[in-house]
Structure 1
Amino acid sequence: MPNGAGTELVGRDVIEHPGSVGVIALDDRGRVLLLRQYRHPVGRFLWEAPAGLRDVDGEPLHVLAARELLEEAGYEAGRWDVLVDLFPSSGMSDERTRIFLARDLAEVPAEEIDFERVHEEADMPVVWVPLDEAVRKALNGDLHNMIAVTGVLAAHAAAVDGFAGLRPVEAPED
Structure 2
Amino acid sequence: MEIEEKIVKKETLFKGNIFDVRCDTVILPNGRKATRDNLEHCGSCAVFAVTNDNKLVLVKQYRSAIFDVTTELPAGKLDKGNEGRMEAAVRELEEETGYKAGKMVHYFDMLSAVGYCDEVISVYLATNLKRTKQNLDDDEFLNVVEIDIKEFKESVLKGEIRDAKTVAGVMRYCLENNI
Report TM bin, short chain: 0.7 to 0.9
Residue 100 of structure 1: aligned partner: 124
| Partner SS, residue 34 of structure 2 | coil
Q: Does 1:40 align with 2:64?
A: yes
TM-score w.r.t. the length of structure 1 is 0.81
Instruction: Tell me if structure 2 keeps the 8 A contact 1:83–1:155.
Output: no
| Partner SS, residue 14 of structure 1 | strand
Q: 2:138 aligns with which of 115, 118, 124?
A: 118
Task: Show structure 2 runs of 5+ residues with no match.
Answer: 7-28
Residue 12 of structure 1: aligned partner: 36
The structure-2 alpha-carbon separation of the partners of 1:160 and 1:116, relative to structure 1 and needing over 3 Å to count, comes to closer
Q: 2:63, 2:159 → 1: CA distance?
A: 17
Q: Deviations over 1:39-86 (max 9, x none)?
A: 011001111110000124232211110100000001000111222211
Task: Flag the structure with higher helix content.
Answer: 1
**Could you say which structure has the larger radius of gyration?**
2
The residue type equivalent to 2:70 in the other structure is: L
Instruction: Tell me if structure 1 keeps the 8 A contact 2:96–2:136.
Output: no
* Post-superposition offset of 1:14: 0.4
| Partner SS, residue 90 of structure 1 | coil
Q: Deviations over 1:77-116 (max 9, x none)?
A: 0111222211110001111111111101000045xxxx45
Q: 2:58, 2:164 → 1: CA distance?
A: 13
Q: Deviations over 1:138-170 (max 9, x none)?
A: 122110212211112122222249xxxxxxxxx
Indicate the percent of aligned positions where both proteins have the same amino acid.
Answer: 28
Q: 1:149 aligns with which of 167, 171, 176?
A: 167
Moved over 4 A (4+): none
Q: 2:104, 2:178 → 1: CA distance?
A: 18
Q: 1:85 aligns with which of 91, 109, 115?
A: 109
Residue 171 of structure 1: aligned partner: none
The number of equivalent residue pairs is: 155
Task: Show structure 1 runs of 5+ residues with no match.
Answer: 162-174
Q: 2:166, 2:89 → 1: CA distance?
A: 14
Q: Does 1:24 align with 2:48?
A: yes
